[in-house]
Amino acid sequence: MLKSAVQKLICPSCRSAKSLKETVFSEGLNAHIENGVLSCTKCEVWYPIEGELLELTVGDLVYKEDRQKFHSRFSKEFDKYEIPNKSETDQGNSPDQLKQRDHYDDFANNEKLSYDDFENLPFWKASDKIVMSSWSKQDITSDKWVLDVGCGNGRSSVRFFDSDMNLLGLDVSKNMLRKAIKRVRDTPFHKTRTFIVADANGIPVIDSSFDYAVTSGVLSNLPDVSQTCAHINRTLSKKGIYFGLENNRSMFRGIFDALAGIFAPWKNEKGNTPEVNQNMLEGFHNGLNVNVSSISSVFLPPIIFNMLGDKLAFSFLKLTNNIFYTLGLKNHGGLIIFEIQKND
């Protein structure tokens, strides 16, 4: 974990800001903590850092067996630094969150089709290029911080933002995050990327501490989308921008879902909000001073782009998008790409 990111975190147990104290057991490369703990000076709950990964969770989202093993492994360090052995809280979490966590823990290492295989399908590689071309219009400079909510295996952390930008990625799936760390460890991204296990429904970061936030296919997995959007808005500085990518609720949605059920090589564990549109995004941010803008993409079933291969998929996706835009259907693609700017 990057030491520079600690100052941006809050204790998820008591929600105190600037109360987390780092204790380093072993140093990592590029200003990372390899092993250690963050402990709260207010409520005395501690959170493990193991192999650069911070677990900043409470309640049912705690990997309890792993946390006990961590304490046993570093028992001498706990005694040496007099760290209180208080790592559990009574806070509960939604059963849906646990279901999503288990799904993505399995998906991370699924032998039939892992998330790594999924993101490297020609369709998703082409789609990501379309997303990047939309978001790259913003003046994102190297001194800025990005919050990647539901970052998974680091796909958006690496593909959508340059390596000189500071980025904190969070997810409830420990297995996914292990892949994200492995993905960046021997690359230039390692100096600026850090990942934590955390709950998107109660994002444990300080108010107004990030310049940008991003979610990619995350809102559909959440128990309370409005609550997460409010947390994202809280974390952004004035004029900060929240970038997002989700399944679009459009007139073609039924066709897309029917074909996906037949041909899609992956299983998606849908949450309470499997797709969104512009009006829904505005509703999720009701009462917040924001500007919501969006455009859709993908008007043909993904299997067509996968059949074309990497070289042709992007060109054909760009071409078909333009055709459907010309036909006046720009809001009815299968994916919605959006930007939400905070005004205060």
pLDDT at 265: 54
Partner residues linked to 37 by β-bridges: 23, 48
Residue 117's pLDDT is what?
Answer: 83
C-alpha distances (whole Å) from 30 to each of 34, 174, 192, 328 are: 10, 22, 9, 50
Q: What are phi and psi of 325, to 5 degrees?
A: -65, -45
Per-residue pLDDT tens, the chain, 344 aa: give them: 999 999 999 999 999 998 999 999 999 999 999 999 999 999 999 999 999 999 999 999 999 999 999 999 999 999 999 998 776 655 666 787 888 888 889 888 887 777 788 889 999 999 999 998 877 666 676 789 999 999 999 998 888 887 788 999 999 999 999 999 999 999 999 999 999 999 999 999 999 999 999 999 999 888 899 999 999 999 999 999 999 999 998 877 777 667 666 555 555 555 678 899 999 999 999 999 999 999 999 999 888 999 999 999 999 999 999 999 999 999 999 999 999 999 98
Residue 267's pLDDT is what?
Answer: 55
* Res 176: pLDDT: 95
| Helices within the chain (DSSP H only) | 64-73, 75-80, 95-108, 115-119, 122-135, 155-159, 174-184, 225-235, 253-263, 278-284, 302-326
Tokens 């006990």 correspond to: 68
CA dist 103 and 258 (Å) reads 22
Instruction: Give Cα 160 distance to the centre of its chain.
Output: 12
CA dist., res. 149 & res. 181, Å (int): 15
Which phi-psi region, left, alpha or beta, contains residue 310 (left: φ > 0; alpha: ψ -120 to 50)? alpha
Map residue 42 onto helix, strand or coil. coil
Question: In 3D, which of 273, 224, 214 has the Cα closest to residue 244?
Answer: 214
3-state helix, strand, coil in the chain (%, to 5): 40, 25, 35
